[in-house]
Amino acid sequence: MTTSANFQVIQNLYTAYSNSDLDAFYKDLSPNIIWRESDGFPTPGVFRTKKDIAENVFAILQRDWSHFRFELEHMIDGNENIVVVGTYRGIHGKTGKSFESRASHVWHLSGGKIDKFEQFADTHLMQCAARDNSE
């Protein structure tokens, strides 16, 4: 089955993510990006620049979690809308607790550039891993 050019853009983004290639990861983001992280996620909110995403999402995840990653399971090609299903995994740096949380990412592309990202995640499992029960 043939996939859309947009599908390939998102597939390349996840390959870059798994290879820790930040230049390749960010290269197809529109300068008008709207990046929405789920409420309850360690980095909730809406971010509108590559710098905001790097500083307020990925830097915080790297700071607070060890071995944090998203493992892609499958992608659904809707041409300008690409849906990704997978699992977040990580270990909280302070509590040492691990988690595994199912998630979906919805991407929108226009003119070959990613202009919207929205995350849907089971954030309760992450919050439990981050919670220090001794407090």
pLDDT for residue 1: 66
Domain spans of the chain, in order of start: 5-130
Q: Class of 5-130 per CATH? A: alpha beta
pTM as predicted: 0.92
Q: CA-CA-CA-CA torsion for 66, 56, 33, 16, nearest 10 degrees?
A: -20
Average the pLDDT over 6-16 and give the result: 97
Strand residue runs (E) in the chain: 29-37, 45-47, 65-78, 81-92, 98-110, 113-121
State yes or no: pLDDT of 127 exceeds 80: yes
pLDDT for residue 2: 84
The string of pLDDT tens digits covering residues 47-72 is: 999 999 999 999 999 999 999 999 99
Nearest to 3 by CA among 99, 81, 84, 79: 79
Mean pLDDT of the chain: 95
Nearest to 121 by CA among 106, 101, 135, 107: 101
